[in-house]
Amino acid sequence: MFHWLEKHPFFFSVGVFVVIAFAGLIEIVPNFAEASRPTIGTKPYTTLELTGRHVYIKNSCNACHSQLIRPFKAETDRYGDYSLSGEYAYDRPFLWGSKRTGPDLMRVGNYRTTDWHENHMRDPQSVVPGSIMPAYTWMYTNEADVDTAYAEQLTIRDFFSVPYNKDIPMKDGSYEQVVLADTLAGAQASALEEAKLVAADMKSKDIQDAVAAGKIPEIVALIAYMNSLK
Amino acid sequence: MENRPLEYDYTVAKMFMLTTVLLGIVGMLVGVILAWQLAFPQVNTFLGSGAAEYTNFSRLRPLHTDAVIFGFTLSGIFSTWYYVGQRVLKVSMAESKFLMTVGKIHFWLYLVGVAAVVVSLLLGITTSKEYAEFEWPIDIAIVIVWILWGVSIFGLIGMRREKSLYISIWYYIATFLGIAMLYLFNNMEIPTYFASGGIGAWWHSVSMYSGTNDALVQWWYGHNAVAFGFTVPIVAMIYYFLPKESGQAVFSYKLSLLSFWGLMFVYLWAGGHQLHFSTVPDWMQPMGSVFSIVLILPSWGSAINMLLTMKGEWQQVASSPLIKFMVLASTFYMFSTLEGPIQAIKSVNAIAHFTDWIVGHVHDGTLGWVAFMIMASLFHMAPRVFKREIYSKSLMNTQFWIQTLGVVLYFTSMWIAGITQGMMWRAHDEFGNLAYSFIDTVTVLHPYYTIRAVGGTLYLIGMFLFAWNMYKTMTAGRRVEENELQNASPMAA
């Protein structure tokens, strides 16, 4: 048979394709629907949080920081509860990372504050002596791209039925909604409102001024995102 | 007319040889910068704090991986294809104007794609998925480049005079099909600008998969992109170039058959080992381990087949630096394909995952196996393509030893770093508290990061020697006749 295949490139290629393709089918397809279901209490990102998530991705934070807590005592001691599949239901793309040059950030919102991030991102060594993380000073001046985050929210609402403006069950039995504005201007306004809340906890004069002037520096969006990681 | 020897046309092969060398240097230079940044964070602002956004670790990291994978390795694959394909199919590119045109468009579009990748990654335009960072416009360009390569492969096969496909061709076909399937499915994404009626950045897209599914598809891709980018096409090269250069026949046809179909069948199943202890289903994780162990068989099958091809001719390893490169590549292939399955065992993975041991594993595979084999292929091709003798044998030997030392420093330091950090993360004191804060596990790595940076720098120096030797071969090597090009490549002392 193999000799015959070697003389018939078409059938050879079909054979190779079948042999390599079905492993993927068996691994990915059966569990697909179940793995897409959110856990109770998992909410989609707000406009500002998603904007911050884009800043996180833009700077490849995931190259050094994981967002995946494995079920070991050492990990749950260090980072909090181990990760559940449904907690990632609204993560497009996933940001588990593959290397922990820095610590895991899956639940960083539980134990780091706005103030801490503000100082740390500007000069990591001043907060954590011996850190090898670079400073991210440009995030304090670059303006965040709220529009693209809003476009993404509309897209995932329309294509993947992400429940914006709908009741989402919480762990205590109550319901909450994540508001998605009807218009771009509305989204910009609500992101700015959220940014003002974050900036209120920040000390930098330049950030305060920027937000007061209706601008959202990247760092503010990023901190909003990191505070949402719980 | 049938007796006239074929004049192979290496125009496209030459173009890709050039990008192999250039992008190899670029990719590895970025890698060396990254290595020094981890050892000495001040290097993050080596062009001043104003340019820090474009020179810091996190922006350069994807550029490094993509430049060596899609720049260096892919160019190497393409250049060897445009050389090997014609020769084993017994047909010249010059016989088809169409295929020649396709080949040239293939090259130029590839170059445009590479330029777009460099610019977009520096600007931070990325999807974040490893080795699939490109946004949708570049994805489309990559798909077109790939289709053009497919046209070239199957076009040439369609015209072949040699009816039976040689082993290398099996592997090139598998590379083409495997990457096509993986790349398409992993990059399923929706451009948000169009989906939202024109809001935001036009290049931005959102993944079709979320969370655990996205991770599963990504590592199905990530693991197997290594299979079909770093293993399969490199095996294609060694099956052609080692027998040619040594003048020995492939040791066993049956073994190559078993290794090929075994590799095709098993490799895809092993991807689950990237996601041990994550939220993917439990049944998948031990399956990833088991198939990773089974994967040793076809991997070692090819490697042993190559080493036994040298049976009775081992003196060539001492006399020819070209054979040295290939035999060491083959040995590193065995080494790396043993190390990988060990890391895939769940209890080992619990320590190794997220640490530098993984980085070490990747690099003994890529530097020791992939890059050595690609450079050996180019060294073998150069005299035949340029009709000139290799400029300097001693330079080749120097390069070989510098780079070997570089690889050894690289992986040994990363082993120690990885296992040290993995053990420190999990250490508890007598009261059950964590023994070390995270930063303790970072500062302890400084010496190993420094040794790794030195190792990487040595390898890069070797790359410059390689580039110089190739350049001089091309421009100043002694002209050779066809009859000097039978087996062992001619090289000046």
Structure tokens at B210: 């979320």
Q: Where are the domains of chain B?
A: 11-477
Q: Is residue A11 part of a domain?
A: no
Q: Which residues of A touch B129 (CB under 8 A)?
A: 93
CA distance B164 to chain A (A): 5
Tell how far CA B294 is from the center of its chain. Answer: 22
- Contacts of B107 by beta carbon, 8 Å cutoff, 6+ apart: B12, B15, B16, B19, B78
- pLDDT at position B436, please? 97
Average pLDDT value over all residues in chain B: 94
Q: Do B170 and A125 touch (CB under 8 A)?
A: no
Quote the CA–CA distance of A8 and A14 in Å, as a whole number: 10
Q: Is residue A10 part of a domain?
A: no
3-state secondary structure of B425: helix
Q: Do B216 and A27 touch (CB under 8 A)?
A: yes
Q: Do B272 and A27 touch (CB under 8 A)?
A: yes
What pLDDT digit, counting tens, does each position of A88-100 carry? Answer: 999 999 999 999 9
Quote the CA–CA distance of B368 and B210 in Å, as a whole number: 36
Q: Extract the residue ranges of chain B whose pLDDT is less than 70.
A: 1-4
CB proximity B154 to A under 8 Å: yes
Q: Do B128 and A95 touch (CB under 8 A)?
A: yes
CB proximity B215 to A under 8 Å: yes
Nearest CA in chain B to A1: B257
B26-50 burial: b if 16+ Cβ within 10 Å, else e: bbbbbbbbbbbbbbebebbbeeeee
Of B212, B264, B426, the CB nearest to A19: B264
3-state secondary structure of B192: helix
- pLDDT at position A30, please? 81
Q: Which residues of A touch B218 (CB under 8 A)?
A: 93-94
- pLDDT at position B2, please? 52
Of B192, B209, B355, the CB nearest to A155: B192
What pLDDT digit, counting tens, does each position of A50-65 carry? Answer: 999 999 999 999 999 9
Chain B, residues 107-126, CB within 8 A of chain A, namely 124-126
Q: Which residues of A touch B49 (CB under 8 A)?
A: 137
- pLDDT at position B1, please? 45
Of A84, A134, A155, the CB nearest to B44: A134
Q: Which residues of B touch A138 (CB under 8 A)?
A: 52-53
CA distance B203 to chain A (A): 10
- pLDDT at position B6, please? 81
Q: Do B264 and A16 touch (CB under 8 A)?
A: yes
The runs of H, that is alpha helices, within B44-166 are 52-55, 57-66, 74-89, 97-122, 136-158
Question: Domain spanning B11-477 has what CATH number?
Answer: 1.20.210.10
Q: Do A130 and B442 touch (CB under 8 A)?
A: yes
Q: Is residue A19 part of a domain?
A: no
Q: Is residue A36 part of a domain?
A: no
CB proximity B314 to A under 8 Å: no
Instruction: Give whole-number Cα distances, B251 to B168, B232, B306, in Å.
Output: 15, 19, 7
- pLDDT at position B226, please? 85
Among B290, B280, B343, which Cα is nearest to A96's? Answer: B280
What pLDDT digit, counting tens, does each position of A122-164 carry? Answer: 999 999 999 999 999 999 999 999 999 999 999 999 999 999 9
CA distance B348 to chain A (A): 14
Q: Is residue A111 part of a domain?
A: yes
Q: Is residue A139 part of a domain?
A: yes
CA distance A20 to chain B (A): 6
Q: Is residue A198 part of a domain?
A: yes
Q: Which residues of A touch B353 (CB under 8 A)?
A: 70
Q: Which residues of B touch A150 (CB under 8 A)?
A: 196, 199-200
- pLDDT at position B487, please? 87
Nearest CA in chain A to B46: A134
Q: Do B41 and A131 touch (CB under 8 A)?
A: yes
Q: Which residues of B touch A131 (CB under 8 A)?
A: 41, 439, 442
Q: Which residues of A touch B125 (CB under 8 A)?
A: 58
* Domain with A181 in it: 47-228
Tell how far CA B20 is from the center of its chain. Answer: 11
Of B53, B206, B359, the CB nearest to A152: B206
Overall number of domains in chain A: 1
CB proximity B163 to A under 8 Å: yes
Average pLDDT value over all residues in chain A: 94
Q: Which stretch of DSSP H or E encloses residue A175? A: strand A175-176
Backbone angles phi, psi at A113, to 5 degrees: -105, 165
Q: Is residue A9 part of a domain?
A: no
CATH number at residue A117: 1.10.760.10
Q: Do A134 and B37 touch (CB under 8 A)?
A: yes
Angle, CA of B463, B466 and B469, to the nearest 5°: 155
